[in-house]
Homo-oligomer: A and B are copies of this chain.
Amino acid sequence: MNAENFAAGERRVSPAYVRQGSEARRAHEHLIRLLLEQGKCPEDGWDESTVELFLHELAIMDSNNFLGNCGVGEREGRVASALVARRHYRFIHGIGRSGDISAVQPKAAGSSLLNKITNSLVLDIIKLAGVHSVANCFVVPMATGMSLTLCFLTLRHKRPKAKYIIWPRIDQKSCFKSMITAGFEPVVIENILEGDELRTDLKAVEAKVQELGPEHILCVHSTTSCFAPRVPDRLEELAVICANYDIPHVVNNAYGVQSSKCMHLIQQGSRVGRIDAFVQSVDKNFMVPVGGAIIAGFNDAFIQEISKMYPGRASASPSLDVLITLLSLGSNGYKTLLKERKEMFSYLSTQLKKLAEAYNERLLQTPHNPISLAMTLKTLDEHHDKAVTQLGSMLFTRQVSGARAVPLGSVQTMSGHTFQGFMSHVDNYPCAYLNAAAAIGMKSQDVDLFIKRLGKCLNALRKGQSKVSGVSGIDSCDKAEDIDEMALKLDSVLCDMDQHTSS
């Protein structure tokens, strides 16, 4: 309401009260003004009321919400379903223009502001999370993998002779596909076993660069966040190689924003060497639905080039989710989540270690991996041929999600490349193991239930009970137990075991 409206209101109820209401409105407006002026994540999270007021204000700046608009184009932001309009807060025009996903739309000033502000907040958070010298970034409504593809496609125009991408192996399909889809040949660099850890083979990278010739190499494609016992790539050294040979360097930082270690690696890499872009998922780092990624980098112009490669307008939905989330959390709220994650990692580590030892297994020593842990399944594997995949299935049916039971000897072929020991990032890891991760938002209850259910599954497997329909000795006193009973029913229908454990 503007001044005239408040004045009209004063004639209906006591002026003093209306004036107090109008002053209260200014407090909301003040927060909005700070946001628009500074483009930074507010320290304290906003309450829902301010968030929704802000979104409402932005939405009425879009032409589809103009009261007197008449549309004679082919895309007028008309919506058939009120449910749909509502869930998007009436932002219908998406973000970007045909030539540039970061461009401003004449028809949609509100959506354009939303897009600019979101990117600005995310930049702020990336700095806060450790990459202080980041220059620009944008949210793109595509998976991390597809966003990597977009980076590679952008680089193609700069390096017409390039055919290869140097890629320290990580056994995650979409990483590999991101290069295939872009039309390049991945050059797989096998990892080196150092203690229990799998680490980047720097010598092999450099040798490959020399062998193929830098101008035939599109870029080095490295990875931070990954499943143990693989650990983040040696980014600093890779960045130096890239700088030395004048090769672009793209980092897959999928769920690394949540880890100060991953962010530190990127910051250091860019300081001592070369990193052109780093790409991260919005869902894995900001607790929003799957669907977006952030492409960030240290050279403003290059990031803009990438944003100009996206042909057409794009969904505003991931940007909207990130905006709502960051405004609601505030930077303090986000910092708290980061801190709690670290504590959970430490708690999970302790508990898993205890359990492993109780079952004559051990927690792999992977100090460089700040998120994922692995516990050996050696005795289990020796006990029975299929016991490892069976454990994966059992955990799945017991509503443990995200645990990966990694057997020895899986083979996977993708686009003509065959990976021995697939899932374990190396041809022959010494033993089968089980992964668990402490990701942002995890609660101690997740850890406790996991440890409890894992223990039960291990017991059952030892006794050969996993497919038995009735298990004696199960006391039906808590939820976890109810789930056990359900799980036993389900075990028998699960056939295609190895599918449930890969992410």
Contacts and interface: CB of A to CB of B under 8 A. Distances in A.
Interface in A326-353: 328-329, 333, 337, 348
Given A53-B60, A98-B173, A440-B78, A24 B493 contact: no
A165 interface: no
A441 B79 CA distance: 8
Contact of A446 (B72, B97, B442, B495): B72
A449 interface: yes
B325 A84 contact: yes
Contact of A73 (B107, B144, B503): B503
Contact of A76 (B371, B401, B496): B401
Contact of A26 (B30, B403, B486): B486
A291 B314 contact: yes
A121 to B, nearest CB: 12
B70 A446 contact: yes
Contacts of A173: 97-99, 311
Nearest to A393: B16
Contact of A290 (B75, B148, B318): B75
Nearest to A148: B311
Contacts of A313: 143, 174, 290-291
Interface in A422-442: 436-442
A371 B479 CA distance: 38
Contacts of A281: 75
A70 B445 contact: yes
Copies of this chain, tallied across the complex: 4
A389 interface: no
A399 B311 contact: no
A284 to B, nearest CB: 5
Contacts of A397: 20
A263 interface: no
A364 interface: no
Contacts of A277: none
Interface residues of A, number: 186
A93 interface: yes
Interface stretch (A2-10, A190-198, A379-387): A2-10
A441 B80 contact: yes
B325 A284 contact: no
Given A16-B495, A39-B12, A104-B17, A61 B22 contact: yes
Interface stretch (A109-117, A203-211, A236-244, A458-466): A109-117
Interface in A288-345: 288-292, 309-318, 321, 324-325, 328-329, 333, 337
A5 B33 contact: yes
A220 B4 CA distance: 47
Contacts of A414: 99
A366 to B, nearest CB: 15
Contacts of A404: 73
A367 interface: no
Interface stretch (A44-52, A122-130, A267-275, A355-363): A44-52
A232 interface: no
A414 B145 CA distance: 27
Contacts of A83: 48, 51-52, 324, 328
A27 B441 contact: no
Given A49-B90, A290-B93, A490 B402 contact: no
Given A56-B56, A74-B437, A141-B142, 6 more contacts: A23-B490, A71-B439, A75-B402, A75-B439, A83-B328, A181-B310
Closest 6 CB pairs of A and B: A73-B402, A291-B315, A21-B61, A143-B312, A94-B290, A145-B311
9 contacts: A1-B29, A20-B396, A48-B85, A80-B287, A92-B289, A94-B283, A99-B174, A141-B291, A290-B313
